[in-house]
């Protein structure tokens, strides 16, 4: 079987740069190599040494291009692709005005297929190789997403969104139908190829206690699956949750009491957490997902990245399309930096790149499989052009070291900075 050797500047990680000295967690080689065979990375290291040991390998030399693990988007809504960057609403009004009318269209298989394909193509164009998506209540939307990902051999996570109240009638299911249809889709797709199923209550305000309980029971039956939902995104939302669940200790308790808190739980946003919630999330090993462009675009608040990291929480990074205003994980990293600045923390480029790769993979409980430039991982790789536009090139030309060269691409880069994307060992753009 043909081996491929990629040469260039290589960036990987041996630890979490949010904890301790970031420089001790970084593996960087200015003349590195990545050896690929049968869709996996079989070796990394000195490019010259790998070339000498594997003279039969087909070589692609990216020069000063930066070879990284492919970006991992840990929370997004592919059905909202068409309505991204919609004007002027906060969360609840935004859902009613834009999201629900758009999602009502996804019972049409042809429409769902079209949007799923478009979303994945946009993601790959921006260097993202794995997406974690909410679908709609329609099984057709789930089939469309997993089918489109299968055609591209992409590792993806998704699930049927479940709602049985506080949503238009056309977008409601029931406790029983949510359980039955989610179970059928889980059995159809989970573990097929590179697909993983996530049990998906949208958030507690749109599910009755009966539905939350039914989905908690399904998760107990299939603990190997992820469970994804939303948590503490905006203050009016939290007040609404308290009205709907007056006996709950806090927002997280509306999931916990129904069996929807666990190690493989994935909680989007998590901006306005109480101390008990932070402690319980850390105790069970659950993950929260930072969605910075969404949090600023919809006016939600400032995520406490370093505070939660110090509390030993697993943290992913995500676009939250279409509440998020960009398909680009570069733009998402830039927004995370800006929010960090508003909290008094200047995140290092190494920390930002880790969040978009290994950090997100850890949140998804897929560390070692995706988001890693290392032996044994899937060969999902993004190659960055650090001189992609005149503005970036003139800034990078003054760089003192690799981080001074990478940071302008993080802050100003877009799809033009994506030189190549490899998915399961196959180039997608070249």
Specify the range with the lowest mean pLDDT, choosing from 94-108, 177-191, 246-260: 94-108
| Whether CATH 2.30.40.10 fits 3-70+372-427 | yes
CATH architecture of 71-363: Alpha-Beta Barrel (3.20)
- Least confident range of 139-143, 198-202, 293-297: 293-297
Mean pLDDT on 310-337: 96
Beta strands in 38-79 (DSSP E): 40-46, 58-69, 71-77
pLDDT at 324: 86
Percent of the chain predicted with pLDDT > 90: 93
Q: Is the pLDDT of residue 76 over 60?
A: yes
Q: Are 328 and 286 in contact (CB under 8 A)?
A: no
- What is the C-alpha to C-alpha distance for residues 270 and 411, in angstroms, rounded to an integer? 24
pLDDT band at 74 (very low <50, low <70, confident <90, very high): very high
Residue 194 has pLDDT above 70, yes or no: yes
The pLDDT assigned to 52 comes to: 97
Sign of CA pseudo-dihedral 295, 301, 307, 312: negative
Q: Residue 144 and residue 150: Cα distance in Å, rounded?
A: 10
Whether 322 shows a pLDDT value over 90: the answer reads no
Averaged pLDDT, 60-66: 98
The larger pLDDT score, comparing residue 193 to residue 97, is at: 193
CB 71 within 8 A of CB 336: no
Per-residue pLDDT tens over the stretch 231-242: 999 999 999 999
Centroid of chain to Cα 388:
24
Mean per-residue pLDDT, 212-235: 98
Instruction: Answer yes or no: is pLDDT of 92 > 90.
Output: no
Domain ranges across the chain: 3-70+372-427, 71-363
Give the model's pLDDT for residue 90. Answer: 76
| For range 35-55, the mean pLDDT | 97
C-alpha 154/C-alpha 349 separation (Å) is 26
- Each residue's pLDDT tens digit, 255-265: 999 999 999 99
Residues 6+ apart with CB under 8 A from 343: 302, 304, 305, 306
Task: Determine the Cα–Cα distance for residues 303 and 267; give it in Å rounded to an integer.
Answer: 13
Q: What is the pLDDT of residue 430?
A: 52
Region 14-31: mean pLDDT is 96
Confidence of residue 348 (pLDDT cuts 50, 70, 90): very high
């Amino acid at each position: 079987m043909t081996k491929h050797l990629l040469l260039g500047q290589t960036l990987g990680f041996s630890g979490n740069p949010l904890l301790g000295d970031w420089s001790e967690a970084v593996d960087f080689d200015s003349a590195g190599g990545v050896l690929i065979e049968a869709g996996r990375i079989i070796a990394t290291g000195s490019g010259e040494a790998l070339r000498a040991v594997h003279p039969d390998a087909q070589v692609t030399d990216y020069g000063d291009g930066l070879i990284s693990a492919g970006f991992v988007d840990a929370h997004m809504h592919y059905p909202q692709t068409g309505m991204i960057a919609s004007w002027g609403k906060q969360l609840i009004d935004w859902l009613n005005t834009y999201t629900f009318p758009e999602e009502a269209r996804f019972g049409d298989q042809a429409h769902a297929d079209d949007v799923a394909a478009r979303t994945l193509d946009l993601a790959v164009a921006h260097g993202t190789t794995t997406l974690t998506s909410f679908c709609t209540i329609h099984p057709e939307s789930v089939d469309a997403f997993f089918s489109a990902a299968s055609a591209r051999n992409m590792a993806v996570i998704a699930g049927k969104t479940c709602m049985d109240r506080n949503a238009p009638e056309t977008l409601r299911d029931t406790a029983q139908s949510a359980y039955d249809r989610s179970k059928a889709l889980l059995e159809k797709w989970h573990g097929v190829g590179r697909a993983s199923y996530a049990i998906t209550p949208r958030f507690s305000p749109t599910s009755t206690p009966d539905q939350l309980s039914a989905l908690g029971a399904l998760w107990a039956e299939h603990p190997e699956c992820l469970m994804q939902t939303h948590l503490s995104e905006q203050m009016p939302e939290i007040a609404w949750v308290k009205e709907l669940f007056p006996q709950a200790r806090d927002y997280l308790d509306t999931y916990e009491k129904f069996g929807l808190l666990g190690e493989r739980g994935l909680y989007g946003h998590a901006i306005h957490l109480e101390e008990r919630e932070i402690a319980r999330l850390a105790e069970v090993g659950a993950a929260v997902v930072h969605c910075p462009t969404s949090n600023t675009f919809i006016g939600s608040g400032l995520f406490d990245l370093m505070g939660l990291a110090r509390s030993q929480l697993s943290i992913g990074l995500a676009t939250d399309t279409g509440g998020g205003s960009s398909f680009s994980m570069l733009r998402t990293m830039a927004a995370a930096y800006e929010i960090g600045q508003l909290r008094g923390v200047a995140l290092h480029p190494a920390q930002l790149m880790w969040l978009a790769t290994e950090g997100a993979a850890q949140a998804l409980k897929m560390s070692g499989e995706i988001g890693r430039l290392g032996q044994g991982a899937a060969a999902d790789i993004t190659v960055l052009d650090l001189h992609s536009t005149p503005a970036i090139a003139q800034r990078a030309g003054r760089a003192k070291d690799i981080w001074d060269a990478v940071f302008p691409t993080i802050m100003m880069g877009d799809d033009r900075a994506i030189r190549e994307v490899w998915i399961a060992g196959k180039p997608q753009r070249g």
